[in-house]
């Protein structure tokens, strides 16, 4: 139960999204990962609430919603109502992070915070006990298919120490440039959940790729 996989539909076929969701339903995936981008926090725009609402109707896995948006507070409730089980906000986008975390939990969703590659894990020391998950970005967010940043392994190890010391059950998710090679090292470093977009959807057999990532 320690090696979980969350395929990112950013790399799915948007002309056949239902088909790719069915593939994920039938696969060993643990969550479906949604990369919501606003064109301000990140230099790209992806999709938002209406897409998540539609996917929720056919999804058989919990929806893991990664908000790469500025000022997420007023949008948390609509995303939870649309079907998000896990809501991830960015540390860099939240002025009152503690309050934001509480409001995610008050809505019944799991609360997660993401750190960009340049943000040290130490900034989470005072909220780690409140979190269900931390999402470490292993690329600069905005696009699928980028090269994995090697420094992430150290961050996973540091974060794992912080979580163990706080006696919390917080999971470590890593997002960006995940493949069999980086994935194996990430699990060894202490990661629990791997997000994979292009590696899954560009593979010949996505279901097998998901199963492969889960059993590295
Ligand atoms: C990057 C997104 C990622 C992305 C990962 O901004 O947060 O979830 O979809 O894509 P790959 O796995 O292709 O690096
Ligand atoms: Zn993501």
Look at phi and psi of residue 178 and say left if phi exceeds 0, alpha if psi is from -120 to 50, else beta: beta
Average pLDDT on 15-44 reads 98
- β-partners of residue 110 are 86
Residue 137 sits in a domain of what CATH number?
Answer: 3.20.20.70
Report the separation in Å between the CA atom of 138 and the middle of ligand 2, taken as the mean of its atom positions: 10
Pairing verdict, β 110-115 and 193-196: unpaired
175 Cβ below 6 A of ligand 1: yes
CB-based contacts of 187, cutoff 8 Å, min separation 6: 2, 3, 194, 216
**Contact (CB, 8 A) for 141 and 172:** no
8 secondary structure, DSSP code = B
Q: Is 176 annotated as a binding residue?
A: yes
Write down the pLDDT at residue 139: 98
Per residue in 102-133, pLDDT tens?
999 999 999 999 999 999 999 999 999 999 99
**Contact (CB, 8 A) for 121 and 115:** yes
Report the separation in Å between the CA atom of 53 and the middle of ligand 1, taken as the mean of its atom positions: 21
Phi, psi of 47 (to 5 degrees): -155, 175
213 Cβ below 6 A of ligand 1: no
212 Cβ below 6 A of ligand 1: no
Catalytic residue annotation = 35, 175
* Closest by CA position to 111, among listed 70, 155, 80: 80
Q: How many domains does the chain have?
A: 1
Rounded Cα distance between 25 and 55, Å, is: 11
Confidence of residue 171 (pLDDT cuts 50, 70, 90): very high
- β-partners of residue 88 are 66, 112
Per residue in 38-71, pLDDT tens?
999 999 999 999 999 999 999 999 999 999 999 9
Helical (H) or strand (E) element with 52: helix 49-58
Provide the domain limits for residue 204: 4-214
pTM of the model: 0.98
Confidence of residue 2 (pLDDT cuts 50, 70, 90): confident
- Which ipTM value was assigned to this complex? 0.98
* Whether the predicted pLDDT of 1 surpasses 50: no
Q: What percent of the chain has pLDDT over 70?
A: 100
Phi, psi of 10 (to 5 degrees): -55, -30
Report the separation in Å between the CA atom of 88 and the middle of ligand 2, taken as the mean of its atom positions: 9
**Contact (CB, 8 A) for 146 and 108:** no
* Whether the predicted pLDDT of 185 surpasses 90: yes
**Contact (CB, 8 A) for 33 and 11:** no
> Rounded mean pLDDT of the chain?
98
Write down the pLDDT at residue 60: 98
Confidence of residue 194 (pLDDT cuts 50, 70, 90): very high
């Amino acid at each position: 139960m320690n090696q979980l996989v969350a395929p990112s539909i950013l790399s799915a076929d948007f002309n056949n999204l239902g088909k790719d969701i069915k593939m994920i339903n039938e696969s060993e995936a643990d969550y479906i990962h949604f990369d919501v981008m606003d064109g301000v926090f990140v230099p790209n725009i992806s999709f938002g609430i209406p897409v998540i609402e539609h996917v929720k109707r056919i999804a058989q896995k919990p929806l893991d919603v990664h908000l790469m948006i500025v000022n997420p507070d007023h949008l948390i409730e609509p995303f939870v109502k649309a079907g998000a089980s896990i809501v991830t906000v960015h540390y860099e986008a939240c002025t009152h992070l503690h309050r934001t975390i509480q409001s995610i939990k008050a809505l019944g969703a799991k609360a997660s915070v993401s750190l960009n590659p340049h943000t040290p894990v130490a900034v989470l020391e005072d909220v780690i006990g409140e979190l269900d998950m931390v999402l470490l970005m292993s690329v600069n967010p905005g696009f699928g298919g980028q090269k994995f940043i090697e420094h992430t392994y150290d961050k996973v190890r540091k974060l794992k120490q912080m979580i163990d010391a706080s006696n919390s059950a917080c999971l470590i998710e890593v997002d960006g440039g995940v493949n069999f090679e980086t994935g194996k090292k990430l699990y060894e470093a202490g990661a629990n959940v791997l997000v994979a977009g292009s590696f899954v959807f560009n593979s010949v057999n996505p279901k097998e790729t998901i199963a492969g990532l889960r059993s590295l």
